[in-house]
Amino acid sequence: DKLEDLSDGGKMGNEVTSEGAGDRDSVEHCLDGVTDSQALKSADRICLFALPRNFKELSDVAKAKELVVQKIRDELTTCQLRIKTLEKQLEYIDSETEEEKEAGNVAAVFRLRALHGRLCTELQDERSAELKTALTLKENM
């Protein structure tokens, strides 16, 4: 392996380059501890030029992960809002059922009790979904 020095201003004398390599300033930052009189092997220089590309790939992965986490947070918020809505609907159905009982409206009471049962099932399902979503969020944090 031929040794090359950095006195050429960071240009590669043998024209070996790496696709996606960063600009000269970022490479110089990586080489802060290296003096002009020190030499690097060609393979080492290629690795240094690949650092910005590798950093970009890691950054892209981190951004994708953050998007996944945000989507899960949004799902959790939606679940929680749905739970609150169902709880309010159940309270309303309970009060309506009492009013219809007092009025002696048996058909309305029967209909409201059936609706109450369906809402309870929906609420239970939504709470299960909330727990599952919260666990998924915890795993992705």
> Could you tell me the two tokens for 57?
């790939």
For CA atoms 115, 116, 117, 123, give the dihedral sign.
positive
For residue 37, give its domain range.
Answer: 3-140
pLDDT value, residue 49: 75
The 10s digit of each residue's pLDDT in 51-102 is 888 888 999 999 999 999 999 999 999 999 999 999 999 999 999 999 999 9
Domain count, the chain: 1
Give per-residue pLDDT as tens, 102-131: 999 999 999 999 999 999 999 999 999 999
Nearest to 134 by CA among 67, 84, 72, 83: 72
pLDDT reading at 2 higher than 70? no
Residue that wins the pLDDT comparison between 35 and 107? 107
pTM: 0.61
Q: Both tokens of residue 139?
A: 């795993």
pLDDT at 33: 57
